[in-house]
Amino acid sequence: MFSWPSLSGAWLAALFSNGSLKSEIKTPEENEPVRYALIMTGSTRGESGSSLTDPLDRNFFSLSGARVYDSLRDLDFQPENIRVLHPGQPSFDDRMEARAFAALQEEQFNGAYDTSATQQNLRAILKDFYAKIDDNDIFVVYIGTHGAPSFLEMELDLPLRDTFIQEELENIHPGFGLLYLDSCSSGTFIRSLGLPEYVLVSLTGDTLGWGDRYFSGGAYFFENLNDPEADANVDGHVTIEEAFTLADREAAEHRKRIEPYLLEQYNWQGADPAVAITQFSVQPTMIRGEKTDPDFSFVEWLW
């Protein structure tokens, strides 16, 4: 997938894009694939302070983002090539993901850039990635927040529309792109996008989704990308499809485990528990862009 460009290909890659010079011609040695990532928590509503719905919900989006960050670092994404946006400070004092939060605090929330989850900061970061990423690189975007079919909640800003995501990401052309939405109605949201270089993955389909201190669809998926257990055909590498398949099964298993708590203890704020648990799903959706490699793998092992 990541073949060296011919002279004409390298020249074309250096030409003007959207009216501006994107990069200089690079030699093969300079054009090693780079792994870039953006992790954004759009909203923490319902998970802390007076907004806390139930103890099971405490810090769940912060925990999810930390787990994804930890997984990407294990997949050899370097801190200088990752950007993290969050509404305020993450839950650094939550001991459930102490290693991940410590790394986030040292490597990202150190004053080097504005980490506030606003549309202005998001646009600026994507513009910076646009200037760096070429068709030899990997680009991962993870967004965890509350959502609806055509928008994502931004605690510090106006809702983030599907048109915003489309317009920003369609300008970034990696060799392999991955967008994961950890939100309600995320399957509907990703089906509105047209991003041929990206695999699009969602927490759920057209329904409400679910997340708690012990579960995040995105965290499961990214952990599986580096887990030999996900290597279903035991060929020495985990494909996106294999990681997705295992995450789907793990999500279904978590739902079964959590249902007794949801029926008997969870604070549904007046709703009938027996009805409420039928109104959400953790069955994920995946859409592969026509220019993506179905057998792409982040890691290979020698058995």
Q: What is the residue extent of each domain of the chain?
A: 32-291
Token digits for 147? Answer: 């959502």
Q: Is the pLDDT of residue 3 over 90?
A: no
The pTM is what? Answer: 0.89
Q: Does pLDDT of 20 surpass 50?
A: no
Q: What is the pLDDT of residue 299?
A: 87
pLDDT at 32: 84
Quote the strand ranges of the chain, DSSP E: 16-17, 20-21, 35-41, 82-85, 138-144, 147-148, 151-152, 160-161, 176-182, 198-202, 237-239, 285-288, 297-300
Distance of CA 170 to the CA centre of its chain: 17
Phi then psi for 166, rounded to 5 degrees?
Answer: -60, -50
pLDDT interval class at 19 (50, 70, 90): very low
Q: Span 26-37, mean pLDDT?
A: 75
Distance from C-alpha of 250 to C-alpha of 284, rounded to nearest angstrom: 11
pLDDT tens, position by position, 143-170: 999 999 999 999 999 999 999 999 999 9
Exposure b/e, 101-139, CB count within 10 A at least 16 = b = bebbeebbbeeeeebebbbebbeebbeebbeebbbbbbb
Q: Would you say residue 191 has pLDDT above 50?
A: yes
Pair of tokens at residue 4 = 């060296």
CATH of domain 32-291: 3.40.50.1460
> If you average pLDDT over residues 79-92, what whole number do you get?
96
Q: Is the dihedral of CA 22, 84, 40, 261 positive or negative?
A: positive
Asked if pLDDT for residue 29 goes beyond 80, the answer is: no
What percent of the chain clears pLDDT 70, i.e. is strictly above it?
89
CA angle 264, 265, 267 (to 5 degrees): 120
Average pLDDT, the chain: 90
Average pLDDT estimate for 50-66: 96
DSSP structure string for 66-119: HHHHHHHHHTT--GGGEEEEBSS---TT-GGGHHHHHHHHHHTSSSSS--B--H
Instruction: Grade residue 294 by pLDDT with cuts at 50, 70 and 90.
Output: confident
pLDDT of residue 55: 97
- Model confidence at 9, pLDDT cuts 50, 70, 90, reads very low
pLDDT for res 300: 74
